[in-house]
Amino acid sequence: MKKLTAIVMALAMVFALAACGGEPEPTPTPELTSEELAAKYAEAITSARSEDDNEFTPVVTDPAGLDDYNWQLLGFTAADVEAFALAQSLMNIKAYCVALFKPAEGRDEAVLSGLQSYVDSTEQSFSTYLPDQHEISQNAILETLDDGSILLVMSPDWDNVHDGIVSALAA
């Protein structure tokens, strides 16, 4: 009986030591302030776009830089987001919007559905004229990234811009 108890105790120690030797906990990354996150978003967008796009469609990160009309177009309010970076054409002859949004707590669906409505509206408005802009709106990418950020890319070079932004955020 003593041998069986010794064997059970030895096995328990082996399992305990194995459990302690697991993978180390990842070091948590410090959380960015809203301003830092907006700056990171703006840099990702800027690095992924052409010089012309950066010059003629600047990136806005300050809610005060957008008026009520902009927020109405997007389908949500400044209170729905914690941070953002947005480059958007307001001319009705161009389907263009490249943006990253970090929804405020519990506002993910409001931001995502607002942006989907914006994409649908843009596509509808170009369905009867400017076929090249209609195609751009049809190819729009709207997705939630792993960190909860919502990315919208509606631009002529949509696939490269998308990939560039995702790569820049991962770096």
- 167 CB-side CA count, 13 A: 10
pLDDT tens per residue across span 120-162: 999 999 998 899 999 999 999 999 999 999 999 999 999 999 9
Q: Is residue 130 part of a domain?
A: yes
What is the DSSP annotation of 50-91? -HHHHHHS--B--GGGS-HHHHHHHTS-GGGEEEEEEEE--S
Q: Is residue 18 part of a domain?
A: no
pLDDT tens per residue across span 47-59: 999 999 999 999 9
Q: Is residue 92 part of a domain?
A: yes
Q: Is residue 5 part of a domain?
A: no
Q: Is residue 25 part of a domain?
A: no
Q: Is residue 57 part of a domain?
A: yes
* Domain count along the chain: 1
Q: Is residue 14 part of a domain?
A: no
Residues 87, 38 contacting (CB under 8 angstroms) = no
- The reported pTM is 0.80
Domain that holds residue 73: 33-170
